[in-house]
Structure formats: structure tokens, C-alpha cells
Structure 1
Amino acid sequence: MSLAEVIYAHSLRLPEPVAREALAYIEGLEDRYGVALPAVADPQDTDRFLAAVFGGLSDDFPDDIADDDLGLDAPRQALDECRTCST
């Protein structure tokens, strides 16, 4: 278990006000030591993820799914009418 995971496990047992105090302390340490905030997600992350798991599906998973294979959605009007029905 990494140190961050140990800290996290301990933080779960703290009452909310004390957890906020611990967070403020950690943020103070980040400021003191110049630790940068996590970078904004890269738009290419999805492409990298898909490339990493490509081929991870079983051989019998269909690779030719078309719109005809999908079920029909209920018309929006029918859903709206259902909300106004008396029960």
C-alpha cells in the first residue's frame, strides 16, 4: 500500500471538520513546497485508453453493431404524458 493510500485510509475515519483541517494542512504543504495542481485532462486520454484496451474484448464480442441492432427509444412525448398521468 502506498503512502498516499495509507493517508487516504486514515482520512476516511476522521470526522468531517477534522478532515477539512487535514486537507487545509496538506494544501499548505503543497503551497510551501511548490507542488503543482494536477494537469488538466488531455483530450487524447480517451484515444490512449482505447488503444490500451483494444483487443481486450472477447472474440465473440460483435464488432459490427449497427443502429438496427439497438432498441427503439420511447418517444419523448409519451414520456412527458406519462409524468402527468394520475396514479
Structure 2
Amino acid sequence: MTLAETIYQHSLSLPEQAAREVLDFVQFMEQRYCVTATDTLPQTLTPEQRAAYARLSRLQIDWEGKPITDRDEANAR
């Protein structure tokens, strides 16, 4: 099992809010070490797909600081 898989397995046992904190920390570490989502993409993607991922990785949405726990809650807003 890889380190990433081990982290994932541990995250499955956490309550939703704790898992969100872990995600926030991972995203913080990505920023700290200048890692983007496109750095870890499979090499089989086309240049167009890589460009789309790059645009998506820069997308930021302000939800007024409120976490959205699921799609139904997001649609209710």
C-alpha cells in the first residue's frame, strides 16, 4: 500500500468535518510546496485535457465560508 493509499484509508474512518480539515491541510501543503493538480495527472491525457485541468485547478468559489456537505445541500441554496 502506498503512502497516499494509507492516508486515504485513515481518512475513511474520520467524521465529515475532520475529513474536511484533512483536505484543507493537504491543499495547504500543495500550496506550500507549489504542487498543482496538473502535476499529478496521468501522462495519457491530451494537451487539451491538461489545459482543462489547469483551468479547473485555478477555479475558486466563495461559499461564504460555509462547507457544503453534499450535492443536495448545494442545490437547496
**TM-score, L = length of structure 2:** 0.50
Is residue 31 of structure 2 the alignment partner of residue 28 of structure 1?
Answer: no
Give the Å deviation of 1:36: 1.5
Higher-Rg member (1/2): 1
SS in 1 for 2:45: coil
2:37 aligned residue: 37
Q: How many residues are treated as equivalent by the alignment?
A: 44
In the aligned structure 2, how far is the partner of 1:43 from the partner of 1:22?
Answer: 31
- Measured against aligned partners, the alpha-carbon deviations of 1:1-24 in whole angstroms (never above 9, x if no partner) come to 100000000000000000000000
SS in 1 for 2:24: helix
After the TM superposition, list the runs of 4 or more consecutive aligned residues in structure 1 that deviate by more than 6 angstroms: none
- Over the aligned positions, Cα root-mean-square deviation in angstroms equals 2.3
Give the Cα separation in 2 of the matches to 1:20 and 1:26.
10
Q: Gapped runs of 5+ residues in structure 1?
A: 45-87
Q: Percent identity?
A: 45
**Residue number in structure 2 paired with 1:19:** 19
Gap runs ≥5 in structure 2: 48-77
